[in-house]
Amino acid sequence: MPNHAVEGSGLFVFQIGGKRMKKIFFKGKSGGFWRISVVLFTLLLLAACGSNSGNEEKKESQTKNMVNIGVTNSLDTINPLLGGGKEVDKYAIGLEFLPLVELDKDLNYVGQLASSITTEDNQTFTVKIDEDAKWSDGQDITADDVIFSVLRTTSPEVGNTNVYSYANIKGFDENGNSPSGAESIEGLVKVDDKTVQFLATTKLSLDSFENTFGRYIFTVPKHILKDVPADELSTYDWFNKPDVVSGPYKLTDYDSETFLSFKSNQKYWKSVPKIKKVNIKILDSSQLYAGLQSGEIDFVQQTMGSIAQDDYANVQKLENVTSVLDEPITNQMVFLNTGTIKDKRVRQAILYAVDRKKIVKDLLDGNGEVADGFLSSYSPYFDKSITPTKYDLDKAKKLVEDSGWDSTQTLTFLVNSGDQTFVQAADIIVASLKEIGINAKVESVNLSTLTTRAGDHDYDILAVQYTMAPIDPYPDISWLINSEGDWPQYQNSSINEQFEKVQGASSQDEVAALYSRVTKTLQEDVPFFSAYFVRSLGAVNKELENAEPHTYGSFNNIEKWEWKTSD
């Protein structure tokens, strides 16, 4: 699936970005997690912040050995061959197995495992692996590793359902799968030990290639895994505690619902991490403020950790914390199932009935933006001339009456239980819908259940935060509607035409014009709408140096994080 998540914050975010979100896949965990240590850790998370265990962790942080990162979504997989677009999965995997490139806070692509990705014709993409890149056992990271990783990730035996974007690469089938048992393929060419080329079937912009492939290819060591049968890799226990990695940290223990623990890779090829241990703690959003205040949480990144809106002001006042309110990027998207809400007049009425400006003012304390479509003002393709649909209950009532809507039926409105702000917003929306003659019932579920049901079209209305890369929304939006993801079951040939032209566009202005046409069509048909774009809050302990929470780039240089030393 694409970005973010939803990650999109989710996203994804559920940033849900890239193309990653089709269905969350529940493989990659072995049994036996409920050991005594896990039980104790779970009790720690549920205990008050002033507990003895909490004080011990705080003390360890102050001795410069550990950093605790607070997140609010559970883990789906730690297996790099199964990685999707869920933010906590992406960044947890990326601590061990670097992506080729990543975005930084200024929306530039920067090398991680790759030193560069280039193209001259938008069909042949040349990936240069950093000359210094080595596995933690000292072996070079090579083009063979990249090709092996892509072929295993896309192998039908592994069963990753998020690989459809590979349908754009020569030799892969329409679902993005490589041939069963393939050790080579037409679209992946080894030029030399440190160079591999990807050959696309049609034109792709460099931004799309880097966002869709570069940020989501997690290279694994071929020399360690080459003899493991492909059908065993999805549940291979080695991924739960790998001893050979390319990134700054190695996983030592985890439970998908409560925590992940990592130790530093002392052979990291960039530089030995200054922090010896990193914990990712999975908490409720209401716990983040208390954790930051007490010092038990040192870092909250905007798309992995959703600070409760009610706590924004309190977090911003903390003397021990630096807070960062990011640009409006993450889209709180509301999908309308066109298979069950067939009349677009009803879908239009639902949009007219949502007082989005009031929701932003009252629930987000103004820390958001109302816009129609999938682009916020932070995107270079944003069209200021498109006026957001205004709140109008009278017009909404008239549309419902004209449609002949059956007022006895009740719509299922799915929301992410981890997003407490929108849980409140959903109740407000349901009350407004009742006023125009539409009955709806809010059903609060966890993010994994929500995305699974979205893919199965098991909903009438569905809301999720989704973060699309502002410089490349194409993979996400084309996936979510009118394509393989197709959450709202919506097809429109004119939108397909605009999307096809985006990849061959020669200028930013041309791309902007194409996206504007798509946005206007979506305004009319309403397969989804943006409830608001969030200005998400991140936070970091003031004593933690070289660490900045941003929607993009927060962990690009995590090996340089360090605690201030006493004068």
> Which residue ranges form the domains of the chain, and what is each CATH number?
36-95+239-326+538-561 (3.40.190.10), 101-230 (3.90.76.10), 330-534 (3.10.105.10)
Q: Which residue has the higher pLDDT, 329 or 195?
A: 195
Percentage of the residues of the chain whose pLDDT score is greater than 90: 71
Closest CA to 160 of 226, 76, 95: 76
CB 29 within 8 A of CB 256: yes
pLDDT score, position 486: 87
pLDDT tens digits, one per residue of 70-128: 999 889 999 999 987 788 999 999 999 999 999 999 889 999 999 999 999 989 999 99
pLDDT score, position 484: 60
Closest CA to 107 of 326, 371, 333, 369: 326
pLDDT tens digits, one per residue of 426-456: 999 999 999 999 999 999 999 889 999 999 9
Q: Is the pLDDT of residue 48 over 70?
A: no
pLDDT tens digits, one per residue of 473-482: 988 888 888 6
Give the contacts of 305 (CB within 8 A, at least 6 positions apart): 69, 70, 71, 72, 285, 288, 538
Percentage of the residues of the chain whose pLDDT score is greater than 70: 88
Q: Is the pLDDT of residue 186 over 50?
A: yes
Task: Return the SS3 of 542.
Answer: coil
Rounded to an integer, the average pLDDT of 382-406 is 97
Would you place residue 204 in the very low, low, confident or very high pLDDT band (cuts 50, 70, 90)?
A: confident
Q: Which residue has the higher pLDDT, 157 or 566?
A: 157
Rounded to an integer, the average pLDDT of 293-309 is 93
Please tell me the distance from the alpha carbon of residue 431 to that of residue 142, in angstroms, as a whole number: 58
pLDDT score, position 29: 33
Would you place residue 28 in the very low, low, confident or very high pLDDT band (cuts 50, 70, 90)?
A: very low
Per mean pLDDT, which range of 57-71, 77-91, 177-191, 230-244 is the poorest?
Answer: 57-71
By DSSP bridging, strand 330-336 and strand 461-466 are: antiparallel
Would you place residue 414 in the very low, low, confident or very high pLDDT band (cuts 50, 70, 90)?
A: very high
Most confidently modeled of 477-491, 507-521, 547-561? 547-561
pLDDT score, position 519: 96
Rounded to an integer, the average pLDDT of 31-52 is 37
Total-model pTM: 0.76
Closest CA to 466 of 386, 336, 374, 349: 374
Q: 426 is written with which tokens?
A: 């959903």
Would you place residue 499 in the very low, low, confident or very high pLDDT band (cuts 50, 70, 90)?
A: confident
Question: Of all helices (H) and strands (E), which one includes residue 313?
Answer: helix 312-317
Task: Return the SS3 of 117.
Answer: strand
CB 463 within 8 A of CB 421: no
Q: Is the pLDDT of residue 159 over 60?
A: yes
Give the contacts of 74 (CB within 8 A, at least 6 positions apart): 88, 256, 257, 282, 446, 447, 448
Rounded to an integer, the average pLDDT of 242-264 is 96
Would you place residue 14 in the very low, low, confident or very high pLDDT band (cuts 50, 70, 90)?
A: very low
pLDDT score, position 117: 97
Mean pLDDT of the chain: 88
Distance spanning both ends of the chain, measured CA to CA: 48
Rounded to an integer, the average pLDDT of 202-216 is 91
Rounded to an integer, the average pLDDT of 157-170 is 93
